[in-house]
Amino acid sequence: MTSTGEAWAFWILATVAVVTALVLLLARKAVHAAFGMAASMVALGAIFLAQQAPFLGVVHVFVYSGAVMMLFLFVVMLVGVDHADSLVETLPGQRFWSTVLALGLAALLMTGIGRVNYTGTADLSAVNADPGNVPAMAGLIFGRYVWVFEITSLLLITAAMAGMVLAQRQRLTPKATQREWSERRIRSNTHVAGLPNPGVYARHNAVDTPALQPDGSISALSINRTLKARGQVASPVEHVEAEERIQREITEGRTR
């Protein structure tokens, strides 16, 4: 039978794991989702610990919350922290039926699993004593399930190749050096002095803010095209307005 303490621990941790998993699913922002996943994995790791499987519990936390989540966060940072997906549902009935069916599935599984009754005590202490928690696992991984373990490596190879095939943009031509760039500019007589810098304002100075041209219009060329593609270009209007305000204060103050 499960001890009371273990039961308490299970229900608390399980609740945390499920709720944070739902956060992963429903959060609008990638960072929140990442947090939800990390928390869920930690809770699961703790459940393993409570089940007398310390190695598994710790590895679980290490691998998922440590390694995988870090990679995930790197990606999130590269993509842009404030990048949020549109969650507007366009298909009629999709939300409703998803909810209904998900709840139905949960209900069906629970009615089945809820009827189950295990007898006897689940206790790993004998195994943990001899041969020990880690050796026992090693015995399974390198013994009975060695074939599965080895074959899993093919998944990693596939993943690596898939990454290469789908994401690696190889250059077909050598990258132009700065010298070549300037030669090209002069030869074509366009932007001989280089493209304009981003905007530099009294109160603001950033790469995402376009520069103003002498006539007051915005110079589109002054912004990196990656930022432009991501739609992360800041509008210089507020800075210009502030400047105009100062200007006005100065001139008005003079006339006043």
Partner 1 sequence: MTPVYTLAAAQVVTEVQPTVDASGAASWAWLLVALPLLGAAIILLGGRSANRWGPTLANVMSWGAFGLGAAILIEMLGRAGDERAQSLHLWQWFTGGSFEVNAGMLVDQLSISFVMLVTFVGSLIHVYSLGYMEHDPDKGRFFGYLNLFIAAMLTLVLADSYVLLFLGWEGVGLASYLLIGFWYQRSDYASAANKAFIVNRVGDMALAIGIAMMFVTFGSADYSTVHGGAAGAPEWALTAIGLLLLGAACGKSAQFPLQSWLGDAMAGPTPVSALIHAATMVTAGVYLIVRSNAIFDLAPTARLVVTIVGAITLLLGAFIGMAKDDIKKALAASTMSQIGYMMLAAGLGPVGYVFAIFHLLTHGFFKAGMFLGAGSVMHAMNDQVNMRRFGRLSGVLKHTWWTFGLGWLAIIGFPGLSGWWSKDKIIEAAFVGEGWQPWVFGLVTMLGAGLTAFYMSRLFFMTFHGSGKRWTEDVHPHESPLVMTVPMMILAVGSLALGAILTAVKFPEWLAPVTNGGHLEHHEPVLAIPAIQILTFVLMAAGVFVAWRLYWKADVPVVAPEGSALTQAARTDFYQDDVNEAVFVGPLMTTATGLVEADDQIVDGGARNLGDGVAGLSRVLRRAQTGFVRSYALTMLAGVVAVLGALWVMN
Partner 2 sequence: MNQEFTMVEINYWAIAPLLVVVAGALIGVLVEAFVARASRHNVQLGVGLVTYLAALVVLLAKSRTEHGLTMGGSVVIDGPSVFLMAVILCFALLSLLVMAERFGGPAADAFTPMGAATPGSDLERSAESAGWGTTEAVPLMMISVVGMMLFVSSGDLLTMFVALEVLSLPLYVLTGLARRRRLLSQEAALKYFLLGSFSSAFFLFGAALLYGYAGSVDIARIALAIGAASPVLDGLLLPGVALVLIGLLFKVGAVPFHAWTPDAYQGAPTPVTGFMAAATKIAAFGAILRLAYVGLSGNRWDWEPALIAIAALTMVIGAVMTVTQTDVKRLLAYSSIAHAGFILVAVMSFDVTGVSGAMFYLVCYGFTTIAAFALVTLVRHEGSEATDLSQWAGLGRRSPVVAGAFAICLLAFAGIPLTSGFTAKFAAFAPAISHGGAAGAWLVVIGVLASAVTAYVYFRIIVTMFFEEGAGDVVAITPSTLTTIAIAIGLVLTILLGVLPGPVLEAATQSAQFLR
Q: Which residues bind partner 2 (CB under 8 A)?
A: 108-109, 111-119, 130-132, 135, 138-139, 142-148, 151-152, 154-155, 157-159, 161-162, 164-170, 172-173
Structure tokens at 32: 């929140």
Contact status: 197 vs partner 1 (CB under 8 A) = no
Nearest to 208, CA basis, from 94, 84, 82, 122: 82
The span of 2-10, 17-25, 102-110, 153-161 binding partner 1 (CB under 8 A) equals 102-110
Residue 101 amino acid letter:
L
In the complex, least distance from residue 139 CB atom to partner 2, rounded to whole angstroms: 6
- Identify the residue among 78, 88, 91, 202 touching partner 1 (CB under 8 A): 91
Q: What does the alpha-carbon distance between residue 66 and residue 87 come to, in Å, rounded to a whole number?
A: 29
Residues in a beta bridge with 219:
211
Contact status: 109 vs partner 1 (CB under 8 A) = yes
Nearer to partner 1, 87 or 237 (CB): 87
Residue 189 amino acid letter:
N
Residues 149-168 interacting with partner 1 (rule: CB under 8 A): none
Contact status: 8 vs partner 1 (CB under 8 A) = no
- Identify the residue among 62, 97, 142, 149 touching partner 1 (CB under 8 A): 97
Site map (CB under 8 A) of partner 1, residues 110-129, x = contact = -xx-----------------
Nearer to partner 2, 5 or 112 (CB): 112
Nearer to partner 1, 63 or 110 (CB): 110
- Which residues bind to partner 1, rule: CB under 8 A? 91, 94, 97-98, 101-102, 104-105, 108-109, 111-112
